[in-house]
A and B are shown apart, each in its own frame.
Chain A
Amino acid sequence: MTTRMNHLLGLEGVSREQIQTILDLGREFKAVGQRRIKKVPTLRGITVVLMFIEPSTRTRMSFEVAAKRLSADTLAFTASTSALSKGETLLDTTQNIMAMKPDVIVLRHAFSGAPHFLAKNVDAAVVNAGDGQHEHPTQALLDMFTMQEKKGSLEGLEVAIVGDIRHSRVALSNLWGLTTMGAKVRVAGPRTMLPPFLDRFGPSVTVHDRIEPAIEGADVVMMLRIQKERMGKDLFPSDREYARFFGLDDVKLRLAKPDAIVMHPGPMNRGVEITPEVADGGRSVILEQVENGVAVRMAVLYLLSAHLLEGA
């Protein structure tokens, strides 16, 4: 029996058993997406609000497809069309949305902690779809799903995460999730992009200021997007210099295990953190990550709604 989930705000504190439940369910939901009729009636009558107060196309679409394949109704609320730009607070906006009685709110927000604030103040399940520089739990879940699918088990897996670790919510969620699941994580990036808090993860996480030792012998190489919009000039000299020292190309990839897979959460800066040859090469699972994202988000929506309607 799994402890039931009320919200999914991050992977910090989520148990190994809960993560495994989501990954196992994801496998069944992936099969639904491969059928002729890619839809099951399970969440009929459930309303999912997609509240994206920060630009995002793929994550929003992924959640929308996930909800629709479960027969839930979706409402999209994006920053450009919202009243937030007219000065309304997040809580006021949310209370207006609550009048429409949504069961699940999927929130993307530029401020770390916004989903936690929402979860305390509304009577709906909240899913964090990325909050500032904090967490992006469903991205890490789809990453772990993909690794498990390709490698069989996460236990003892050597995973390299390369790029701007400091500003990356994808990296942080993966660090929490992967260490909980027994994987070993090597993070690498320029010193200006490495956060100070990594010792809290203990000996299963190692930190490198060069890419080579991080990817040497790795089972998985995850490249992060260089988020130019989030950093000043002092962190980042030039695209070309970054590509030379930290970009993944065929030569550097040879250091990883021969069967290593290459991942990227997208959108990619081709020629900066990853060369087109690697991104489109035989070891890249980048497009499978997108497909798996829908399956994992279906699992999350299902588990959260199962709790909501329990005893209804």
Chain B
Amino acid sequence: MPGKTLVEKQIIMDAATLDAALDRMVEALVPLVAGGKSCLVGIQTGGAHLARRLQERFGARGLPTPPLGVLDITLYRDDTFLGLQQPVVRHTDVPFETSGLDVILVDDVLYTGRTIRAALDALVDFGRPRLIRLAVLVDRGLREYPIQADVTGATIGTVASETVQVELTEMGCATERVVIYERESR
């Protein structure tokens, strides 16, 4: 963020609460997708890591391991060019037929809902799922589109000047945590 600096404000989750939240999410997801064959699709990059972790937890519970896809929504965004730096296009890989499946769409933070809107458009270009459920680790409120999560790890109240980051070891972070930062102008 040019001219802005992030100041740490509050830690929402540490490694242990994050771990417990993922367990609760799997527990809540199981009945939602019990009726059909399911798959996990994580949104790049945070959601992709979380989807991989959820997949492992399905297996650890002795449940069938759903196939895993990753989705980059850059090409579907409605704000691709709005004053942002050149948007980076990350890898998209949904290596299975999604038509007829129960898709569990996974993201780290649910905020305005615009990312999810884009992800839904991207998903339907791959096929016609039987249903799509949304699982997010953190719902920080402040929705701009009428979108809600089916499964949430934590719900917190935030203001627009704040930014919420899920920091995972897969991203090179030493400590796993979820943090609220305040964006301050330099």
A residues at B contact (CB < 8 Å):
1-2, 4, 25, 28, 31-32, 35-37, 39-42, 70, 302-303, 305-312
Residue in B86, B91, B121 with the greatest tally of chain A CB atoms within 10 Å: B86
A2 touches B86 (CB 8 A): yes
* Interface of B (DSSP majority class): loop
B-side contacts of A70, CB under 8 Å? 75
Q: Number of B residues contacting the other chain (C-beta, 8 Å)?
A: 22
CA distance A40 to B76 in the complex (A): 7
Q: With A28-B92, A31-B92 as given contacts, are A37 and B125 in contact (CB-CB < 8 Å)?
A: yes
| B1 at the A interface (CB under 8 A) | no
- Contact A306–B81 (Cβ < 8 Å): yes
Q: A303: which B residues are within 8 A, CB to CB?
A: 86
Q: Is the pair B72, A306 in contact by a Cβ cutoff of 8 Å?
A: no
A42–B75 touching, CB < 8 Å: yes
A-B contact pairs, 21 of them (CB 8 A): A1-B85, A4-B86, A25-B89, A28-B91, A31-B92, A31-B93, A35-B126, A36-B125, A37-B126, A39-B125, A40-B122, A41-B76, A42-B75, A42-B76, A70-B75, A305-B81, A306-B81, A306-B86, A306-B87, A307-B86, A312-B81
- CB contacts (< 8 Å) of A302 on chain B: these are 89
A295 smallest CB distance to B (angstroms): 12
Residue of B nearest to A40 (CB): B75
Instruction: Kindly list chain A residues whose C-beta atoms are within 8 Å of the C-beta of B72.
Output: 28
Question: Is B80 at the interface (CB under 8 A from chain A)?
Answer: yes
Q: Which residues of B contact A307 (CB under 8 A)?
A: 86
Query: Which residues does B use to contact A, with CB under 8 Å?
Result: 72, 74-76, 80-87, 89-93, 121-122, 125-127
Q: A4-B86, A31-B92 are in contact. Are A309 and B81 (CB under 8 A)?
A: yes
Q: Which 4 A-B pairs give the minimum distances between C-beta atoms? A: A309-B81, A40-B75, A42-B75, A37-B125
- Measured in the bound complex, the distance between the Cα atoms of B166 and A265 in whole Å is 47
The answer to whether B82 touches A312 (Cβ under 8 A) is yes
> Chain B's nearest CB lies how many Å from the CB of A97?
23
The residue that B83 contacts in the complex, of A1, A25, A32, A311, with Cβ under 8 A, is A311
The minimal Cβ–Cβ distance linking B65 to chain A, given in whole angstroms, is: 24
Chain A residue contacts of B85, Cβ below 8 A: 1
Known: A36-B126, A312-B82. 14 other contacts (CB 8 A): A2-B86, A25-B89, A28-B89, A31-B93, A36-B127, A41-B75, A41-B76, A42-B80, A305-B81, A306-B86, A310-B83, A310-B84, A311-B81, A311-B83
